[in-house]
Amino acid sequence: MALTSTQIIRNYIDTIGSLERKNIQNDEQYEEIRQLKNIDIIRMNDMEDVVVAYADISITGTDRDKPQIRVFMDKIKTPYDFAKAKSMRFFAFSIFSKDKAMAKNIKNYDPHEYLVSLETNIDNDSSRRDIRSMYNFVDEYIGRNGETDYVRCAAGQHQSGVYQASFIRINDNGKNLSKSFLDYMTYFDSRPYMNSKTDYNENRDDNNKGELKYNRIIFGAPGTGKSHKLELDSKQFDERLERVTFHPNYSYASFVGTYKPTMMETPDWLVDNEKKKIIAVLQDKSMTAQEKYDLLYDKFKDEGLLTRLPLLLGIYTDEDFKTRKLDGTDAEGDNSVERNHGKAIRPYLNLKFQNSNKEISYEYVPGPFMRIYTQALNHPKEKFLLLIEEINRANVAAVFGDIFQLLDRKHGVSEYPIATSEDIKGYLLDNLDCLKGKNVEEFSDEEKEKYFEMRIPSNMYIWATMNSADQGVFPMDTAFKRRWEFEYIGVDDEEQVKEIENYIIPMCTENTYYVSWQELRKEINTILAENCKVNEDKLLGPFFISRDMLEKIKNNKVVKDKVKSGDISEVTLEDVHEKEKGFIKAFESKVIMYLFEDVMRMRPQNIFIGHEKNKGKMIFSKICEAFEKDGEKIFGFSEMQHIE
């Protein structure tokens, strides 16, 4: 008897040593799902528990050239709701389990070798879905590109009614493969699909109705207005916020804080006339070391500084403060006194060699996290915001360090505290209003726990932007991602599309005309999604060209019309045309370069269709030359409305 999809996938998971299917029969927290036959709780290597539901496949219409390959969404609705309620990651898996003859339209690969992960919203879905079009897409993809261990079938590349799916190769001619599957289980976070569209548009925390979300990441394609949305939302915090942009070299020391060198005045233990005397003696080359010693002995003895005098009198110290004689040999006897007075020696060395009254010291310099954290603790009745731009451009695990544990919140407060280091403790003593003037030595154990165990307070919010499509970004591990509320902004967000409907942009440097930016963007995205099979996170958002640029070129068109009609005389058509040419150059450096370098680097001919048909060289400079001459026709458009 043939195995079902559920049995095949369970057997496969059992072969992976780093994954464990938990026995949930006697666990009270899983009582409401323990009787279901198509659900597992999988324990990951990092001890995270995820919900996995299995959708068995049925085949209908076997007499057709392309039979239906159906999954039953109603059977994964309960596991989905359970995962959503528990804020657990959720996976819906299926695999082709029928006889190969039933997949007669699939020619380029064996569907038995690819597990299907359905990445979709199941809030209101209880029907059967035909995912044959997804299998068709993968068949065509492998036919063009050869076998692969991972393919994502995105929205726009199929007609199944499921948002999107990932095809993961788990078997190769009878040999189990695990790397791609483990990577997917580790890094993919399905929680955005566990929110309805209404949820996406609300800046609210599901666990705290009416309250702002505490840990919030806005993500989407470039130009979807992620930063702009956070900028607008952050206005409710007035000036009570810190903004920081992550980059590849950003570190824990920059984010939280660290000791840094600083120049400080030499301690005022010598009055000016005494300084002059000592400097004169030290710099007098006619005197012997013994004579200098005799002159300075009483002064240094009275100040209790006699152990440092040899350093200034013919004996010197290396970087380790090891005392040596003039000939370079070690000084006799124990020199630990001199070695342990490194900091105190500096003023004397400065006097002798630099005649300076400055020295290097070290002080704790807080990063944006500590600054906003301290403000939030000092003003508990006000709300404070830490705003992080481009959060995945840095290695967030390294940047957050042990602060990562504080992101687990209960009613807004960190559920699990961390102990403060000595440097942070010193900073808090100096900057927390509740600690100023208090003697730490007299603190009780309860007070130490209260003041020196860090917890993010409920009036401190951390919001961030993220673009997963950019090059050079760092992957976020699952444990980090599940501590955030994700909000997705689509490339065709209704509010933003409405905002750009009236923007027009110039085409061609000679005989210039204008086209609708929204229409041009929409047509380019259609080619990318349908012909080039590009995922949505690489499409052009409404404000891929900034609001400022769109507004300026729109106003320039208005000025151009007034110059032509004679309403404006102080501006010439040449002035207007120079701005049009400037915009076209900017379009090349932003839009065309992005499409050429980032999106379609390996297959630029698939997006620059008109340029390909004209047999133009597929290099960036030639594409730009063609754009300046032919405008939007380089994309293969022939019927776009022109605005003269």
Residues 391 and 448 in one domain: yes
Residue in 520, 545, 541, 557 with CA at minimum distance from that of residue 636: 520
pLDDT at 571: 84
Q: What is the CATH number of the domain that holds 454?
A: 3.40.50.300
Per-residue burial over 74-113, b if 16 or more Cβ lie within 10 Å, else e, is ebbbbbbbbbbeeebbbbbbbbbbbeeebbeebeebebbb
Greatest mean pLDDT range, 194-198, 359-363, 497-501: 497-501
The confidence band for 316, taking pLDDT boundaries of 50, 70 and 90, is very low
From the number of C-beta atoms within 10 Å of its C-beta (0-12, 13-18, 19+), residue 528 rates as buried
Q: Answer yes or no: is 255 within a domain.
A: no
User: How many other C-beta atoms can be found within 10 angstroms of the C-beta atom of residue 419?
Assistant: 12
Taking only the tens place, the pLDDT of each residue in 563-581 is 888 888 888 899 999 999 9
Average pLDDT over residues 229-257: 90
- DSSP labels for 141-180? HHHHH---SEEEE-TTS--SSSSEEEEEE-EETTEE--HH
Average pLDDT over residues 102-106: 82
Residues 85 and 189 in one domain: yes
Residues 332 and 400 in one domain: no
Taking only the tens place, the pLDDT of each residue in 545-557 is 988 899 999 989 8
pLDDT at 338: 39
- DSSP labels for 209-241? TTSPPSEEEEEESTTS-HHHHHHHHHGGGTT-E
Domain boundary among 489, 508, 538: 489
Q: Answer yes or no: is 641 within a domain.
A: no
The helix (H) or strand (E) run that includes residue 427 is helix 422-431
Torsion of CA 622, 628, 632, 634, to 10 degrees: -20
Cα-to-chain-centroid distance, residue 10: 33
- DSSP labels for 78-139? HHHHHHHHHT--EEEEEE--S-GGGGTT--SS-GGGEEEEEE---TT--SEEE-HHHHHHHH
Q: Answer yes or no: is 156 within a domain.
A: yes
Domain boundary among 467, 489, 511: 489
The helix (H) or strand (E) run that includes residue 251 is none
Q: Answer yes or no: is 204 within a domain.
A: yes
The model's pTM is 0.56
The single-letter DSSP state of residue 33 is T
Three-state SS across 37-57?
A: CCEEEEECCCCCEEEEEECCE
Q: Answer yes or no: is 256 within a domain.
A: no
User: How many other C-beta atoms can be found within 10 angstroms of the C-beta atom of residue 441?
Assistant: 5
Residues 235 and 373 in one domain: yes
Residue 623 has pLDDT above 90, yes or no: yes
The confidence band for 198, taking pLDDT boundaries of 50, 70 and 90, is very low
Residues 125 and 242 in one domain: no
The single-letter DSSP state of residue 306 is G
User: How many other C-beta atoms can be found within 10 angstroms of the C-beta atom of residue 149?
Assistant: 17
Average pLDDT over residues 488-499: 82
Average pLDDT over residues 583-612: 90
Residue 69 has pLDDT above 70, yes or no: yes
Exposure of 100 in the CB half-sphere (CA atoms within 13 A):
7
Domain boundary among 489, 522, 540: 489
Q: Answer yes or no: is 257 within a domain.
A: no
pLDDT at 492: 83
Task: Say what percent of the chain tops pLDDT 90.
Answer: 29
Residue in 331, 322, 346 with CA at minimum distance from that of residue 266: 346
Residues 19 and 168 in one domain: yes
Give 530 or 354, the one with higher predicted confidence. Answer: 530
Q: Answer yes or no: is 43 within a domain.
A: yes
Average pLDDT over residues 587-602: 90
* Of 132-141, 315-324, 370-379, 600-609, the least confident: 315-324
> Looking at the 3D structure of the chain, how many domains does it have?
4
Residue 168 near residue 114, CB atoms below 8 Å? yes
Residues 338 and 460 in one domain: no
How many whole angstroms separate alpha carbon 369 and alpha carbon 383?
14
How many whole angstroms separate alpha carbon 181 and alpha carbon 19?
11
* 3-state class (DSSP) for residue 454: strand
* Of 242-256, 264-278, 323-337, 404-418, the least confident: 323-337
Its domain, for residue 413, covers: 199-250+365-489
Q: What tokens were used for 50?
A: 């995820």
Average pLDDT over residues 145-154: 86
Residue type, 98: K
Residues 344 and 397 in one domain: no
Residues 137 and 24 in one domain: yes
pLDDT at 512: 93
The confidence band for 25, taking pLDDT boundaries of 50, 70 and 90, is confident
Residues 178 and 92 in one domain: yes
How many whole angstroms separate alpha carbon 334 and alpha carbon 326?
18
Q: What tokens were used for 167?
A: 């095809």
Residue 15 has pLDDT above 70, yes or no: yes
* Of 78-82, 535-539, 540-544, the least confident: 535-539
Residues 526 and 574 in one domain: yes
Taking only the tens place, the pLDDT of each residue in 428-464 is 888 888 777 677 677 777 766 666 788 999 999 999 9
Q: Answer yes or no: is 644 within a domain.
A: no
Residues 43 and 142 in one domain: yes
> What's the mean pLDDT when you consider all of the chain?
81
